[in-house]
Amino acid sequence: MADEHYEWLDKDAAERLLRGEPVVPVGDDARTDAFRLAEALGAARAGLRAPAGELPGEDAVLAAFRQAGHGSGADRLAGRRRRCRSPRQPRPAAHRPPRLRPRRP
């Protein structure tokens, strides 16, 4: 029945499968399902492995990130501070909602 499908897949079995450990449930159908699920997870895991070493352009990206986050250092050497500007500007007074006076019940 549909509600008995993956009955063997409890939290512990799922954790073992996600870690790549074997799971041997009772029953032929359950074993087949566990094997197929383990194969699918293994294939997905293999596709997510990062290549060894640095990625192309990684040095340039890191240098640009450091430059943007900390500036070149010239401002600090000159005694100036960088200002952080907010992208949101305050609303003009004409667009503010009117204040309501509290009423007595």
20-24 contact pairs (CB < 8 A, 24+)? 20/45
- In the chain, which stretches have pLDDT less than 70? 1-4, 48-51, 70-98, 105
Query: Does this model's pTM top 0.85?
Result: no
Q: Which of 1, 7, 6 is nearest to 37 (CA)?
A: 6
Secondary structure (DSSP) of 11-52: HHHHHHHHHT-----SSHHHHHHHHHHHHHHHHHHHHTPPPS
Q: What is the predicted pLDDT for the residue at 86?
A: 62
Q: Residue 6 burial (CB < 10 Å; 0-12/13-18/19+)? A: middle
Write down the pLDDT at residue 1. Answer: 46
**C-beta atoms surrounding 4 within 10 Å:** 9
